[in-house]
C-alpha cells in the first residue's frame, strides 16, 4: 500500500482498537473476540513496521489498554503491569522459542508453562504480613484501588503466616469458578434479575461495585502467578516464585510444566489443552515464561510486553445450530446492528441462543440466510459469533436477509456511512435512539446519575415523560410516580442524583452528549483547551484541530454537532436547567512555568492528573504527546516511548526531583 493508504488504515485501526480497549477494560462489555482484536492489532503492527513514521506514542501497539474508573481512588504501580504478546499458532510459538535461543545464545532454555486464567489482572501488596492494598491493572501504570472488594475473597489471606515471607507485591488473576458462576446466574434468574453473559465480564463488573457487601455475595476467587516486588527476598526464577507463593499460603496455578525445547513447549500446551476443561475456572490459553530471572533481564521488554514470555491462545470451540431469525438492534448513534437468533446449543460451558453478526456487509459476504445451519464459536470462550454457513445442508427454503431500508422502530429511511458499512437511523427522536442516548448520558462514565437503569429509562421514554436528556431535569415526584414498580425512596434517590449531576465537570457533559468520535479522553482535552462548552461550540474546524488529540476526522464531527439546530436548542435547555458549562479554572500558584509545554510519562509520586494540575497552576500547558513544541518531558520511573522520542527531538528531560526544585 502507499504511504497515504497506510496512514489512513493505521488511523482507522488505532481508533477501532482504542474503542475495543475501552469496552474490554473499562466497561467490561467486549464486542469482538480476543482473536479478532489480536488480528486487528497484528495488522496495525505490520503497518507500523513497514512505515515506522506512523508509529505514535499513543498507538494501541505501545501500551496496555484501560483507564481509571470513576468512584475509586488510584494506586500507582511500583512496577508497570504489562500485557503479553500472544499467538494462536504452534509455528509462532516455535518462532518465539527460537528468538529466545538467539537472544540468550544457547539452545537449551528452561521455560515454565501454566494455564492462562480468563479473569481480571490484579496486583496485591503485603507489608509486615498484612494485606495493604490491591489494585486493577488500569492503564498499566495506575489502577483502581479495589482493596475492600478483594478482601471479600475468602481464599485471599488478610494476614500471612508468620513463618513465611512478610513484605512483597504479588500479581494474579481474579475470576469466578464455573460452578459459582452457574449458581449465581440461577439465583439471579429465580429473583427475576438479568443473568450475566460469562464469568470474565461478571468478575470485571463485580470488582467495579462500590458496595463490598454486594461483592461478598459474588463467587470471586483468585490465583497468583508472579511478583512485582520481592521485598528483598532473593529469588532467582519463576520456580522460586512458586515456592514463595506456597510459603505465603497464596494459591498458584493448579497445573504447571517445565520444557527446555520447542518440542517440549508444544507437548505441554497440547497436554494442557486436554486437561484444562477439568479445571474449576475458564481458561483460554497457556502462558509460557523463561524460568530464570537472569535470562529474563537479558532478554528485556518492549514498550508493551516482555520478550521472555508469550501467551498461546487455543482455537475457540465451535458448534453447529440453526439460525431461526435475525433481529435488528438500534444503538444511540442510530446504528442498526443485526443479531442472530439461534436454536439453543451448548458450547464452551454454556447454552447459546444469540450470536453477533456485526453488520450487513458481513451477512452478505458470508451469504447468511434465515433457516441456515451455521457454525458458531464462542471466540475466546466469551462472545458467540457466526463463523460460517453449512451451505451443503440447504434445502431451498432459506430466506436471504435484506439490507434494511427503514428503521425497524420509527420507520425512518436509513442512511449508510461513507465506508458503506454502518447503516443508521437518522431520526434523533427515534424511541430506541433516545433510550440508548439517555442510558449513555446517565452512565457512570458520563453524568453518573445512579439508579436510572435500562428499565427506568425505557419507561421514561415510552410514557413520553422524557424526550431527550434535557427532559431528565424537568422530572419531579409527581411525574416519576407514574412509573411502574418505582417507590418513594427510589424517586427521592433519582431526584437527588439528577440534581447532583448539574455540578459535574463539563467534560462529562460533552462526553454524555454522545458526539460521534468523542470519547471521555477527547472530552477532557476539549475542555482543557477551550475552557468551556460555549467556546467549543463557537470554534471553527481549524481551531478544533489545534486541540491535542482532535484530528481531521473528529473535528468536523464536533463542529457539525454544535451547529445542528436541534442540538443548539438542547444545549439551551441544559444551560437553563443549571448544568455546568465552564471548566473550573485551576487556581494560579505562580507564573514560573508560563510559556512552557509539558509532557508527563512514567511513574511519579502522584497520579498524572494531579501533576498536570500542578503544572497548569504555575502557568504551564500539558500535552499528551511529544513534539517539537514540547518544552519539557517530566519522566518518572519506567518511562517508555515518549522518553525515546523526546531524546531524539532534543527535548529537555526532567526528573521529578528537578521538576519540584524548579517550582
DSSP state of 72: S
DSSP string, 599-631: EEESB-SS-HHHHHHHHHHTT-EEESS--TT--
Q: Which of 123, 128, 133 is nearest to 159 (CA)?
A: 128
Four-residue CA torsion sign, 230, 235, 237, 243: negative
CA atoms within 13 A on the CB side of 455: 7
Instruction: For 170-196, give the DSSP string.
Output: EEEEEEE-HHHHHHHHHHHHHTTPPPP
Whether residue 172 contacts residue 242, with contact meaning beta carbons closer than 8 Å, is answered with no
DSSP 651: -
Burial class (CB in 10 A: 0-12, 13-18, 19+), 593: buried
**Chain centroid, CA 270 distance in Å:** 30
Counted residue by residue, the chain has a size of: 663
Q: Which three cell numbers stand for residue 209?
A: 461495585
Residue 304 gets which letter from DSSP?
S
Q: Centre a 10 Å sphere on the Cβ of residue 12 and count the other Cβ atoms it contains.
A: 14
CA distance 192 to 480: 23
Q: Closest Cα partner for 275 from 94, 35, 115, 118? A: 115
Nearest to 123 by CA among 132, 114, 111, 112: 132
Say whether 116 is catalytic.
yes
Beta strand 86-87 pairing with 111-117: unpaired
556 with 564: CB under 8 angstroms? Answer: no
Instruction: Please state, in angstroms and as integers, the Cα–Cα distance from residue 525 to each residue in 511, 538, 583, following that order.
Output: 11, 16, 11
Using DSSP, state whether 395 is helix, strand or coil: coil
The one catalytic residue in 29, 102, 116, 502 is: 116
Q: Are strands 120-127 and 369-370 parallel, antiparallel or unpaired?
A: unpaired
Give Cα 427 to chain centroid, integer Å: 30
> Closest by alpha carbon to 391, among 367, 427, 423?
367
The CA–CA distances, whole Å, from 400 to 79, 301, 330, 649 equal 54, 50, 21, 57
Please say whether the beta carbons of 33 and 382 come within 8 A: yes
Beta strand extents in 251-382 (DSSP E only): 257-259, 283-290, 309-313, 318-330, 336-347, 350-356, 369-370, 373-379
Contact 447, 514 (CB under 8 A): no
349-359 burial string, b = 16+ CB within 10 Å, else e? ebebeebbbbb
| Residues 524, 370: Cα–Cα separation, whole Å | 45
Phi-psi region of 86 (alpha: psi -120 to 50; beta: other; left: phi over 0): beta
Instruction: Compute the distance between CA of residue 85 and CA of residue 600 in angstroms, rounded to an integer.
Output: 26
H helices of 208-248, in order, are 212-215, 238-248
Residues known to be catalytic: 116
Amino acid at each position: 500500500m502507499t504511504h497515504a493508504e497506510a496512514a489512513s488504515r493505521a488511523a482507522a485501526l488505532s481508533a477501532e482498537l482504542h474503542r475495543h480497549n475501552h469496552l474490554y477494560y473499562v466497561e467490561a462489555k467486549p464486542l469482538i473476540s480476543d482473536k479478532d482484536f489480536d488480528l486487528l492489532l497484528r495488522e496495525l503492527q505490520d503497518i507500523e513496521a513497514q512505515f515506522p513514521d506512523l508509529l505514535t506514542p499513543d498507538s494501541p501497539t505501545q501500551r496496555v489498554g484501560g483507564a481509571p474508573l470513576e468512584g475509586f481512588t488510584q494506586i500507582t504501580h511500583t512496577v508497570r503491569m504489562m500485557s503479553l504478546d500472544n499467538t494462536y499458532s504452534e509455528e509462532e510459538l516455535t518462532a518465539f522459542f527460537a528468538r529466545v535461543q538467539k537472544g540468550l545464545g544457547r539452545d537449551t532454555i528452561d521455560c515454565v508453562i501454566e494455564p492462562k486464567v480468563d479473569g481480571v489482572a490484579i496486583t496485591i501488596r503485603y507489608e509486615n504480613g498484612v494485606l495493604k492494598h490491591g489494585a486493577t491493572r488500569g492503564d498499566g501504570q495506575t489502577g483502581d484501588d479495589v482493596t475492600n472488594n478483594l478482601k471479600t475473597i475468602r481464599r485471599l489471606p488478610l494476614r500471612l503466616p508468620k513463618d513465611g515471607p512478610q513484605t512483597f507485591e504479588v500479581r494474579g488473576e481474579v475470576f469466578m469458578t464455573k460452578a459459582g458462576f452457574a449458581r449465581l446466574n440461577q439465583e439471579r434468574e429465580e429473583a427475576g434479575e438479568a443473568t450475566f453473559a460469562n464469568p470474565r465480564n461478571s468478575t470485571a463488573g463485580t470488582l467495579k461495585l462500590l458496595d463490598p457487601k454486594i461483592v461478598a455475595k459474588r463467587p470471586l476467587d483468585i490465583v497468583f502467578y508472579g511478583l512485582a516486588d520481592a521485598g528483598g527476598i532473593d529469588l532467582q526464577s519463576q520456580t522460586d516464585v512458586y515456592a514463595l507463593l506456597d510459603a505465603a499460603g497464596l494459591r498458584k496455578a493448579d497445573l504447571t510444566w517445565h520444557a527446555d525445547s520447542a518440542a517440549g513447549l508444544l507437548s505441554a500446551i497440547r497436554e494442557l489443552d486436554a486437561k484444562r476443561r477439568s479445571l474449576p475456572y475458564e481458561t483460554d490459553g497457556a502462558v509460557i515464561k523463561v524460568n530464570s530471572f537472569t535470562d529474563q533481564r537479558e532478554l528485556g521488554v518492549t514498550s508493551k510486553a516482555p520478550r521472555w514470555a508469550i501467551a498461546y491462545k487455543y482455537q475457540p470451540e465451535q458448534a453447529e445450530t440453526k439460525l431461526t431469525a435475525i433481529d435488528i438492534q438500534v444503538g444511540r448513534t442510530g446504528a442498526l446492528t443485526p443479531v442472530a437468533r439461534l436454536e439453543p446449543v451448548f458450547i464452551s460451558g454454556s447454552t447459546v441462543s444469540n450470536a453477533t453478526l456485526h453488520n450487513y456487509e458481513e451477512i452478505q459476504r458470508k451469504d447468511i440466510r434465515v433457516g441456515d445451519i451455521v457454525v458458531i464459536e464462542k471466540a475466546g470462550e466469551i462472545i458467540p459469533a457466526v463463523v460460517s454457513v453449512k451451505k451443503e445442508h440447504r434445502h431451498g427454503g432459506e430466506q436471504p436477509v435484506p439490507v434494511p431500508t427503514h428503521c425497524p422502530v420509527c420507520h425512518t429511511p436509513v442512511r449508510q456511512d461513507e465506508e458503506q458499512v454502518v447503516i443508521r437511523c437518522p431520526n434523533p427522536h427515534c424511541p430506541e435512539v433516545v433510550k440508548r442516548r439517555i442510558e449513555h448520558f446517565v452512565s457512570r462514565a458520563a453524568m453518573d446519575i445512579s439508579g436510572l437503569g435500562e428499565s427506568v429509562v425505557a419507561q421514561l421514554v415510552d410514557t413520553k415523560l422524557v424526550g431527550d436528556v434535557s427532559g431528565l431535569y424537568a422530572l419531579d415526584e409527581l411525574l416519576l410516580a407514574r412509573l411502574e414498580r418505582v417507590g418513594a425512596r427510589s424517586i427521592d434517590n433519582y431526584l437527588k442524583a439528577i440534581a447532583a449531576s448539574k455540578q459535574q465537570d463539563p467534560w462529562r457533559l460533552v462526553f454524555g452528549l454522545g458526539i460521534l468520535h468523542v470519547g471521555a479522553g477527547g472530552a477532557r482535552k476539549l475542555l482543557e483547551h477551550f475552557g468551556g462548552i460555549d467556546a467549543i461550540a463557537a470554534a471553527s474546524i481549524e481551531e478544533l484541530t489545534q486541540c491535542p488529540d482532535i484530528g481531521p476526522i473528529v473535528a468536523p464531527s464536533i463542529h457539525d454537532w454544535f451547529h445542528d439546530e436541534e442540538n443548539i436548542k438542547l444545549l439551551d435547555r441544559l444551560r437553563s436547567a443549571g448544568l455546568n458549562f465552564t471548566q473550573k479554572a485551576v487556581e494560579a500558584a505562580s507564573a514560573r512555568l508560563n510559556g512552557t509545554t509539558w509532557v508527563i510519562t512514567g511513574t511519579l509520586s502522584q497520579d498524572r492528573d494531579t501533576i498536570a494540575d500542578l503544572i497548569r497552576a504555575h502557568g504551564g500547558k500539558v500535552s499528551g504527546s511529544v513534539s517539537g513544541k514540547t518544552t519539557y518531558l517530566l519522566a518518572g520511573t519506567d518511562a517508555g516511548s515518549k522518553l525515546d522520542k523526546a531524546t531524539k527531538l532534543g527535548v529537555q528531560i526532567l526528573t521529578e526531583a528537578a521538576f519540584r526544585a524548579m517550582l
